[in-house]
Homo-oligomer: A and B are copies of this chain.
Amino acid sequence: MAAQDSFQDQTDAPDADEIEKITRAAWHYYNDGLTQNQIANMLGTSRIKVSRLLEKGRQTGLIELRINSQFGGCLTLQTELVDAFDLVDARVVPAAPDIPSTPRIARAAASFLSQKLEANDLLAIGWGEATMTTLRYMAPTFQQANVSLVSLTGGVSAYIGTTGIYGPTNNAHLIPTPLRVSSEELAEMLRVEPYVRHVLEMAATARYSLIGVGSVSNSATLVRYGYCSAAEIELFARRGAVGDVLGFFYDADGQILDLDLHRHVVAIQPGELSKIQNVAAAAGGSEKVDAILGLLRGRLANILVTDEDTARELLRRVG
């Protein structure tokens, strides 16, 4: 469990006073086109301080760059993806070799969701790195729009933490269990536990959900966080698994496999997930192409946020 500490935020959230300053600085810098020096004079502070305020604003997602092109995102690939896989929507971030794609995809996912979520909406979230990173970028939106979080699986509380970054009035309804427990019996007991049940039922009522996609490899997040052993992964692969959602492995057609593991997972049932109107998957990278293909074929998600290279590969493979 200790390993999950690395899920915590690296930048701490700015307080109200700082938000005010960042907002002011950002306005003058980006909208008014003033120099940092001029802003420093107006705000009665030093130039370097302004520089840092802006940097912090960008990091935390308080300052968001929105690109208003054709379809909100970037490329014609988006429409092609929507058509090819019969999706509700898609976002494709431009290719950028040598830059890790997860944070970029997370940025796009955060931007997408921020745009779609309305005041007092409920966002259901799964487990995984992409999900976590996306949430971090969305923190300011949660405060602003009073969006509540509800978890689809156990193991989420570790990276939501007890910090108040999701605002004072916002509730985060999390399942207070690990993603996987040691026995089938325990898992069942937890699933019927009133509070857990309540959260899972609530999750099914969300208008939007955000999930990650796991690949079937030794470097999968599930393995790195100790939820699965490398041996298990190999076994699943031989059984035809190409990826996982919420801890459930599926084959190339997106059919959930019948695995012991699945009875050890504390999460919403995949069948229940499809009750949610908009299921957005955030994932990219060549190692995840198989997993994403299966996911989309099995209609386990209807919105995809990915990167350009992955999108091209998906379209090549499906065409």
Binding site for B on A (CB under 8 A): 16, 19-20, 22-24, 26-28, 30-32, 34, 42, 57-58, 61-72, 74-75, 93-94, 96, 99, 104, 107, 114-115, 140-141, 143-144
Which residue of chain B has the shortest Cβ distance to A42 in the bound complex?
B96
Cβ of A99: which chain B residues have Cβ within 8 Å of it?
32, 34
A104: chain B residues within 8 A (beta carbon): 27, 31-32
Please give, as numbers and ranges, the residues of chain B lying within 8 Å of A19 by CB-CB distance: 69-70
Max chain B Cβ within 10 angstroms of own Cβ: one of A27, A28, A57, A93? A27
- Assembled-state Cα–Cα distance A27/B175 (Å): 36
* Contact yes or no, A68 B24, CB < 8 A: no
Q: How many copies of this chain?
A: 2
B24–A74 CB distance below 8 A: yes
Q: Is the CB of B96 within 8 A of A65?
A: no
A197-B144 Cα distance, complex, nearest whole Å: 41
Partner of A107, one of B24, B31, B67: B31
User: Is there an interface contact between B93 and A27, defined as CB atoms closer than 8 Å?
Assistant: yes
A65-B30 contact in complex given A71-B144, A144-B70, C-beta closer than 8 Å: yes
8 other A-B residue contacts (CB within 8 Å) besides A24-B74, A62-B68, A115-B115: A20-B74, A22-B69, A23-B74, A24-B94, A27-B93, A30-B65, A42-B96, A64-B68
| Set of chain B residues within 8 Å of A144, measured between Cβ atoms | 68-72
